[in-house]
Structure 1
C-alpha cells in the first residue's frame, strides 16, 4: 500500500499572525514539502492543478519535473489533471515526457475540476464537463497506446496520422487514476478502462463515497478486469497532529475556522465527526485511518492533505515528521496484516512493465 500527501497549493493568510506568503514563497514551500515527504519515507507526492487565485499550481508538470530531479524514490502524481480544459494531446505528450525524466515515477489523476469560470477561460463550457472528460480521456488513452492515431470528436479538431511524442517509457503509459467527489459517470469511466478510482473523501460523509467505490468495483468486474476486490482504489484524507490531542485541536482550530475550503461552515467538532478529518494525536490518526478499510475494503493508496489553510511551513514539516515516523510505519504493518488474499498491489511503473512482459510471454 502506498502512503503520501497531496497539496492544493492555496495561498492563504495565516489567521494567527496575519502573514500571507508570496506566490514564490508558496511554490518553494511546496517543493520543500515534497522533498520532506521522501525524507520521511512516504511513497507519493501529488499536487493539484488550478488556474485561479488563491491557488498557484497552474503547471504541475513543471513543478513535478523539478521535484523529480531532486528525488530518487518518490512517486510524483497529480491531484488532479484537468481532463476537461486541457488539450488531450498536450496531456499525453507532457506526462510521457515527465515519465521519461522521472524514470517512470509518475502517474496522474484525471479530474473535471469544479470551478465554473475556468471552463470558458480555456474555451469550454462547464455544462459539457462529463462529456469532455469522457471524450478527452478516450483520446489520451489511444495516444499512449497507438503509434499512429486518426481521431474525430466533438470538442477538438480532428487528427490524421498523428503520433504523440515522446512515446511512453518502456511502452507502458503512466498509470491513471480517475478522481471524483460526486460523479458516478467518472467511477464508470475508471472501471471501463481498468484504471484506478480515487475518492477524495475529504468533505462528505463516508456513505457517499462508499456508494461511488462500490459502483466502481462492481463495474470493474463487469468489464472483465478482475474481481471487485482487485479494483484499484485510492482515498484522500485530512489530518493535523500533535503529541497531545488537546494541543492539536487548540492549534488547528483557528486555521479550520478561517480556511477558504471549509471556513464559516460546520464546527471543527461536527466536521471531524462527519468527514475523515482527524485532529488529534498520532494514535488517533492511526485508529481513524484503519477504519477506512472497514468502509471501503482493501485499497492501494492513501493520501493526506496537510499543508493548506495558511499553516506555516515549519508546522507542515513537523506534521510530516509525525506522519513518517509514528503513523505510516504502523499503518503499513496493520494494513498488510489485514489485507485479504488476491488484492491487487499498488501500481508502480516497474510492476506494470513486468506484468506487461509476463502477459506477452504467456500470450
Structure 2
C-alpha cells in the first residue's frame, strides 16, 4: 500500500462478493424475505468498508431464489453511503443485457461514485435467462464476444456507427453520460470453465477473474495460465503483468471445530456443494475454508502457488442461508485478523513488474502518462 500523487494505491484488493440468494437457514428453519435479503446485502457492503476491505461486488440474477436483478441500483445506493469502497459486480450479464444500457448505467454510476466503479462481465449460470431477454443460449459465446466489442466502442468513441448480428444497427449514436474523465470502468471477464472468455480478456488486455470456489487448483491453474500466456501473446505485457482475480469461500470461528460444526448444515443443504463428497473432502479439493482465521490465511496465501501474483481476492461469506449477523461476524474477522496479514504476506517478495490492482485513479494516471509520452517533442 502506498501513495502516488495523493492517491492510495494497493498492490492487491480484498473484498466481498455475493450472489444474493434467498435461502433457508438450516439451523433455524427461517427464510428471510426479499426485502430482508436486499437490506442484508447493503449492510454487508457498508460493513466491508467499515472493516477496511476494498471491494463489494454483487451478482446479477433474474430468477428466484435470487434478488439482485438490478446491480447498478444497489451499487448506486451503496455509493451514496460509502467513501472508499470500490463498487463492482460478480456478474454483469454481457449476453442478455443490451450493451447500450450497460454503457449508460455504469457510466452514470461512475459519476455518482466518483470513479469507485468497475464490473465483471459474465454469461451467468442460469440457462433460461436467455429466452427471457430474447436471446438463444446456443449463441452464448458469440453474444459475449459481439456485445462486449460494441460496449468498448460505446465507452471509447463519442459517435458510433455499428452493425452486428444480435441487435439493431446504430447510426451516429452517442452513449450518455460519457465515462468519467473519459476513462471507462475497468472490466474483469469472469469465467469458471470457458477458455473463450479467458481468451477474450487477454485479447483486450482486460482483467480475468476466475471464480474458483467450486473448482480444484489444477483447473484454476490451467485457466489462469492460459489467460496469462494469451495476454502476453497479444502484446499487453509479460504473463506476470496480466491482471488476475480469484474467488474464495470462508466460514470462520476462533476454534476450527466450532466453525466446522456450525457450517456443516449449510454445506449439507447447499444445492451446489452438498449431496456429494464430504465437507472435509470438498475443502481439500476447492478453496472452501471452514476453520480459524489462521487457516483462512494459510489457504488463501497458497493460491499464489498456482495462480501467481494476482490483484484481487474476493470472499463469499453470506450465501446458503448464512444469517446477516453471522456474515457480519465473518467480516469483522476478515478485517481485523485475516486481510491485514494477507496484505503484508502477499506484498512480501512481490516482483516489481507486477502491476497494482486497477482503480479509476491508476487508469487515469496511465492515460495521462501515455499522452505525455506520445506528445513529447522529439529532440
Q: TM-score, normalised by structure 1?
A: 0.99
228, 235, 251: which one pairs with 2:262? Answer: 251
Q: State the match for 1:17 in structure 2.
A: 28
**Are residue 327 (structure 1) and residue 341 (structure 2) matched?**
no
346, 353, 361: which one pairs with 1:342? Answer: 353
1:106-162 deviation digits (Å, cap 9, x = unpaired): 000000112111110000011100000000000000000000001100000000000
Q: Note the 1:1-363 alignment, pairs <5 A.
A: 1-363=12-374
The CA distance in 2 between the partners of 1:26 and 1:260, in whole Å, is 18
Secondary structure at 2:103's aligned position in 1? Answer: helix
Give the RMSD, CA atoms, in angstroms.
0.6
Q: CA deviation at 1:187?
A: 0.3
The CA distance in 1 between the partners of 2:108 and 2:156, in whole Å, is 15
1:141-196 deviation digits (Å, cap 9, x = unpaired): 00000000011000000000000000000000000000000000000000000000
Q: Which moved more, 1:333-342 or 1:45-54?
A: 333-342
Q: CA deviation at 1:263?
A: 2.3
The CA distance in 1 between the partners of 2:198 and 2:133, in whole Å, is 25
Q: Which consecutive aligned stretches of 4+ in structure 1 deviate over 6 angstroms post-superposition?
A: none
1:276-330 deviation digits (Å, cap 9, x = unpaired): 0000000000001000001110000000000001011110101100000000000
The CA distance in 2 between the partners of 1:49 and 1:308, in whole Å, is 14
Q: CA deviation at 1:97?
A: 0.4
Q: CA deviation at 1:267?
A: 1.4
The CA distance in 2 between the partners of 1:136 and 1:180, in whole Å, is 16
Query: How many aligned residue pairs are there?
Result: 363
The CA distance in 2 between the partners of 1:260 and 1:54, in whole Å, is 12
The CA distance in 1 between the partners of 2:199 and 2:38, in whole Å, is 35
Gaps of 5+ in 2: 1-11, 375-379
Q: CA deviation at 1:71?
A: 0.1
Q: Which moved more, 1:336-345 or 1:35-44?
A: 336-345
The CA distance in 1 between the partners of 2:269 and 2:55, in whole Å, is 28
Secondary structure at 1:237's aligned position in 2? Answer: strand
Gaps of 5+ in 1: none
Q: CA deviation at 1:259?
A: 1.6
The CA distance in 2 between the partners of 1:42 and 1:161, in whole Å, is 42
Q: TM-score, normalised by structure 2?
A: 0.95
Secondary structure at 1:238's aligned position in 2? Answer: strand
Secondary structure at 1:355's aligned position in 2? Answer: helix
1:192-240 deviation digits (Å, cap 9, x = unpaired): 0000000000111111111111111011111111110000000001000
